[in-house]
Amino acid sequence: MTFARRIVVAAFFVLVVAAGAEAQVGVHIGINLPAYPRLTVIPGYPVYYAPDVRGNYFFYDGLYWVFNVDDGYWYSSSWYNGPWVVVEPDDVPQPLLVVPYRYYRVRPRYWSGWALDRPPRWGDYWGPRWYERHRDWDRWDRRAKHPAAPLPSYQRRYSGNRYPAPSEHATIHNGQYKYRPRDDRVRESQSKIVERESRGGEKASGRAEFIEKKGGGGPPQKRGREERPGKGRD
């Protein structure tokens, strides 16, 4: 093999390895979807949920959202399988917070006994300082009209090995999905979420206050870390 040919082969190998590494980089929080999930609008809310996904998986105002029971934080992404970016408690949009407990597909044992038609107790999770800043977080008029954003259905074409690398997400998404967020919190957070997603996502640095009070370890892993409910019914 000539010297020039060796250079070409070596360069090709480097490119292949780099591309594979880029495709594998990303924050994962227990969501691994081989294809676009089935999403259903929650009656009375501008939020979709995924009844077939084993996770607390939602779509709201142009972004996907997941509540991770292991650390007690919300995550978001512009693509259905991440990578995921942690969202600080103050930045979680109200329509997600008020979704009833029954639409959470993964329920840690320490949630047991909570009312199915009420939202989770976010004041417990994020502590008194968060509650002082969000006293009216659970006030929601279900009788009002709350149109849901259109789904980015173009992503159905990107499944399995066709799922793009994080660095390609913004370019493809902006070219295919023309919806712009209406929620002030989402508008303020979207650019940061998309930028951090393109770099592989971002995980929470610790656990929510409520989980720390439970002992710092979250729900026990080997005894079944969650209760798996049946299909959501309203």
* Residue-level pLDDT at 107: 86
Q: Which amino acid is at 142?
A: R
In this structure, of 77-86, 124-133, 158-167, the range with the lowest mean pLDDT score is: 124-133
Q: CA 74, 127, 92 angle in degrees (round to 5)?
A: 30
| pTM for this predicted structure | 0.82
- Kindly indicate the confidence band of residue 208, based on its pLDDT and cuts at 50, 70 and 90: confident
Q: Which class for 15: exposed (0-12), middle (13-18), buried (19 or more C-beta within 10 A)? A: exposed
Quick one: 74 exposed, middle or buried, by C-beta within 10 A (0-12, 13-18, 19+)? buried
Q: Are strands 40-41 and 47-49 parallel, antiparallel or unpaired?
A: antiparallel
CA dihedral 204, 205, 209, 213 (to 10 degrees): 120
Q: pLDDT value at position 124?
A: 85
